Amino acid sequence: MPAPVVSVSKSRRPGKVRAILASGLVLGVGAAFTLAAWTDNEWVFGGAGPGNDKPGTKNYGMEQNTVVPPAAAVWTDQGSPNGGRLDFTIKAASMLPGDTVYAPFQLRAKVKSETLTVTLAEARQADGAVEPTNSSTLYNALRYRAWVGVKAENCNADGLKTGEGVSVLVGPGTGAGLPLNTLGADAFILPAGDSSSDPGKPVDLCFAMTLPADAPSTLQGKNVVPLWRFTSSVGQPAV
């Protein structure tokens, strides 16, 4: 018996075709067009205050003058050993027991520097100690004193080392003093300049170095290179 013939209603076919076409149109529209937005950018940059200043850091720095007399100043920045040369006079090359020699010098804040708080932070013998040209035994025997505020004309045996603006940086103010590796007792201030084009007012310092009266004869014919480092630091300590 032949299989029955199943007929498809013509009335349903167009609907199916229309549904497929409609679906295709929807997909086609979605793939071909997307929504767009207008874009406008605004940039800003960092400033400081009402003018045209930019964020930045302050200036800090000091410099030295070891020329005597100070009026013939030659200001230099000596950031590493051996640095500037303190002139303890020709007498320092041939000291006898009981002798004291003196060296005046100055420190100041550089142009555009802020006010500085300074310490005598290191005192040691120069590297490469060799007898007799850089003698450790002589270095250990010598004593010194230091003052802040003592002017060059008073940085000698007879000069006044007390009074307004004068302070003892190292030692007692009298006597032979303390070992050459003694650090400064207190900090002192280097003022900032009056304007952005002026350095700070110089601060006078005076060192006195003594070979004690009881120095042994074994120190004869020796030399030494003592070093001192002044430092100022600002900012937060590292964590």
Residues 29, 23: Cα–Cα separation, whole Å: 10
Q: Quick check: 185 pLDDT over 60?
A: yes
Query: In the predicted model, what is the mean pLDDT of residues 18-46?
Result: 62
Q: Where are the domains of the chain?
A: 64-231
pLDDT in tens, 196-214: 899 999 999 999 999 999 9
Per-residue pLDDT at 49: 85
Yes or no: say if 56 and 75 are a contact pair by the CB < 8 Å rule: no
Per-residue pLDDT at 20: 40
Q: What percent of the chain has pLDDT over 90?
A: 64
Q: What percent of the chain has pLDDT over 70?
A: 82
pLDDT in tens, 46-103: 888 887 788 877 778 999 999 999 988 899 999 888 889 999 999 999 999 999 999 9
Better pLDDT: 100 or 17: 100
pLDDT in tens, 159-172: 999 999 999 999 99
